Amino acid sequence: MEKLLAEGVDVSDVMSLPGYAGPMNEGDPVRLFPSLQDLSVYVEIPADEILHVEKAAETTLPNDGVIVWLRNDSAVIFKRTRTVHTAARLVRHMFGGPGGRTESSARAGAPLVTQPQLVESRHGRLRIMARDSTMAADCRSLCFVDPPCQSTCRVCQSRGCM
């Protein structure tokens, strides 16, 4: 913060993004990956939009993670480029089924996600199948974009989650 204040930056309009910077050439946008577990998800940040970059603490982001500061209204490109194989019943909503999406959002081609692992618990004669609520090692939710929300954390509570 001290460095930003020293440069006269209004810090009330600044945000930070933790992640891993990808390789780049001069003049190219910076690719910032929120996790090393899934390199199909990243944000491209034009170099001139970046206010400051610092190496993150090893305990926060191991393996040379960084924290990038930029203005809240900086123009960035969010990319998610993966294919997920799943059962047909889990994609019914993509085609206007129960809990369906609009025709325009189906055309948008949002990627599909697999359902979380179900865990059985018994209470007397009652048998309950519920989502596994164990936390992932790298808990980062990507629910700031249009549906579908994807989370490696507990059940995602953000708008647009499946």
pLDDT tens per residue, range 108-145: 554 444 445 667 777 778 887 776 555 444 444 444 44
75 within some domain: yes
With bands split at pLDDT 50, 70 and 90, how would you rate the model's confidence at 30?
Answer: very high
Please indicate, yes or no, if residue 116 is contained in any of the structural domains. no
Q: What is the value of pTM for the model shown?
A: 0.50
Burial class of residue 16 (count of CB atoms within 10 Å of its CB; 0-12, 13-18, 19+): middle
Indicate the number of domains in the chain.
1
Q: Is 111 a domain residue?
A: no
List pLDDT tens digits, range 43-88.
999 999 888 888 999 988 888 999 888 888 888 998 888 666 777 6
- 152 found inside a domain: no
**Domain assignment present for 64:** yes
Is 137 inside any structural domain?
A: no
Within-domain flag for 43: yes
Tell whether 63 is covered by a domain: yes
- Parent domain of 23: 2-80
